């Protein structure tokens, strides 16, 4: 009986790396007697001790796996049996950072052309000082930008006053100011609104609690209808949504005599109410900003582990690697391969891979 039972097992190689020696011939100029050394390939000359793949691996471990330089050092020492300095690891990430700049800048230039952008921001520490990490995301890519400001000036700088698209965001003042002074349309996050109303529904003041519960019932009807939109005709769906929207606004605009209720109700006066219902007329607009909040989690985890950055160089590194990781994930692309290809292109002056 000539048959076999096969068991496959994955094992590490005996040595985790190999050293390749590159030799450049020396020549003596017959006239001057000076010594000239032949040129090495650009990726070898600019790479230094680490080849492109090892440099990309360090950047992937640092930016994609939330590893500190100390942890990477330990990995090299105990797994790869190779002693490396923190300075060398830092240089590797900065080489990658420079190689990712063209793809990053291409996305920055693309932002003002987008018809819809989800936007959110979270805190960031640089040399102990408060900064803000902004996230701009579409279905195709996500862009991160670190700035000292959490104000509308960031939106005007990146999108411009002429921006005519729709932004999905929370009710933070920067977005309200930007929408007033630009041509943009806003979709305020319904998830944030629901959390605010739920807080009122659980309030100890009975009239406020009752009002909050009534508003939540209308919103439950809205999302229940939204989730079964495919079962309804276009006309039937529009009619039902109009009824629910009218019922919600009618109740919202008759708040009980309580400062919290009146403060919330002021948002829904006149046309201002439409800023929560843009998704009803545009199927490409999300009713919540949950997608952007999910995108920003990677940056938040990094912030907690690293405790922030130490200067402009570190902030630019974070912007570029976070943008690369998030965008490659959305496009089902291999992050390590993109980093490696960008690095080789940077060293050899070839065409850079793009994120768009």
How high is the pLDDT of residue 35? 92
DSSP code of residue 175: H
Given its phi and psi angles, is residue 227 left (phi above 0), alpha (psi -120 to 50 degrees) or beta?
Answer: alpha
β pairing state of 166-169 and 116-126: parallel
Mean pLDDT of 335-348: 96
DSSP code of residue 309: B
Backbone angles phi, psi at 348, to 5 degrees: -105, 5
Residue 279 above 80 pLDDT?
A: yes
Residue 41 above 90 pLDDT?
A: no
Spell out a b/e string for 121-145, using b for 16 or more CB atoms within 10 Å of the CB, else e: beebebeeeebbbbbbbbeebbbbb
Angstrom distances, CA of residue 170 to CA of 66, 77, 190, 222:
28, 46, 8, 19
% pLDDT > 90, the chain: 83
Cα angle 38-43-47, degrees, rounded to a multiple of 5? 105
Residue 230 above 90 pLDDT?
A: no
Residue 40 above 90 pLDDT?
A: no
How high is the pLDDT of residue 173? 95
How high is the pLDDT of residue 107? 98
How high is the pLDDT of residue 213? 97
How high is the pLDDT of residue 127? 93
User: What is the pLDDT confidence band of residue 284, given thresholds at 50, 70 and 90?
Assistant: confident
Residue 1 above 80 pLDDT?
A: no
As given in the structure block, the two tokens for residue 183 are: 């041509």
Rounded Cα distance, 275 and 176, in Å: 10
β pairing state of 129-137 and 116-126: antiparallel
Task: List, as own/partner pairs, every contact residues 17-24 make where C-beta atoms lie below 8 angstroms and the sequence separation is at least 24, other chains included.
Answer: 17/54, 17/80, 17/82, 20/51
As given in the structure block, the two tokens for residue 294 are: 């999910």
* 8 A C-beta contact, residue 76 and residue 84: yes
* 8 A C-beta contact, residue 344 and residue 52: yes
* 8 A C-beta contact, residue 215 and residue 197: yes
Closest CA to 255 of 192, 200, 218: 200
């Amino acid at each position: 009986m000539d048959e076999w039972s096969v068991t496959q097992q994955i094992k590490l190689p005996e040595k985790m790396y190999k050293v390749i020696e590159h030799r450049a011939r020396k020549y003596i100029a017959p006239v001057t007697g000076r010594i000239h050394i032949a040129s090495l390939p650009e990726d070898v000359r600019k790479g230094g001790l680490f080849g492109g793949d090892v440099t990309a691996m360090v950047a992937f471990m640092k930016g994609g796996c939330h590893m500190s330089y100390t942890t990477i050092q330990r990995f090299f020492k105990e797994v790869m049996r190779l002693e490396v300095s923190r300075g060398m690891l830092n240089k590797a990430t900065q080489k990658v950072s420079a190689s990712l700049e063209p793809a990053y800048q291409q996305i920055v230039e693309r932002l003002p052309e987008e018809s819809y952008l989800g936007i959110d921001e979270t805190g960031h520490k640089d040399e102990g000082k408060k900064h803000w990490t902004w996230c701009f995301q579409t279905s195709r890519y996500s862009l991160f930008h670190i700035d000292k400001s959490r104000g509308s000036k960031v939106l005007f700088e990146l999108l411009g006053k002429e921006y005519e698209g729709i932004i999905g965001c929370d009710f933070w003042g920067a977005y309200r100011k930007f929408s007033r002074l630009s041509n943009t349309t806003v979709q305020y996050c319904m998830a944030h609104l629901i959390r605010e109303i739920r807080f009122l529904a659980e309030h100890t003041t009975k009239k406020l609690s009752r009002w909050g519960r009534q508003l939540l019932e209308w919103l439950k009807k809205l999302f229940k209808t939204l989730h079964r939109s495919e079962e309804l005709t276009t006309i039937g769906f529009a009619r039902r949504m109009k009824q629910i929207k009218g019922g919600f606004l009618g109740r919202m605009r008759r708040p009980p005599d309580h400062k919290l209720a009146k403060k919330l109700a002021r948002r829904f006066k006149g046309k201002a109410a439409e800023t929560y219902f843009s998704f009803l007329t545009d199927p490409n607009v999300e009713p919540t900003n949950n997608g952007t909040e999910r995108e920003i989690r990677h940056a938040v985890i990094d912030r907690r582990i690293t405790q922030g950055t130490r200067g402009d160089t570190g902030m630019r590194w974070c912007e570029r690697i976070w943008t690369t990781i998030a965008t490659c994930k959305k496009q089902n692309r291999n992050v390590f391969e993109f980093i490696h290809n960008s690095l080789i292109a940077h060293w050899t002056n070839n065409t850079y891979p793009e994120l768009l």
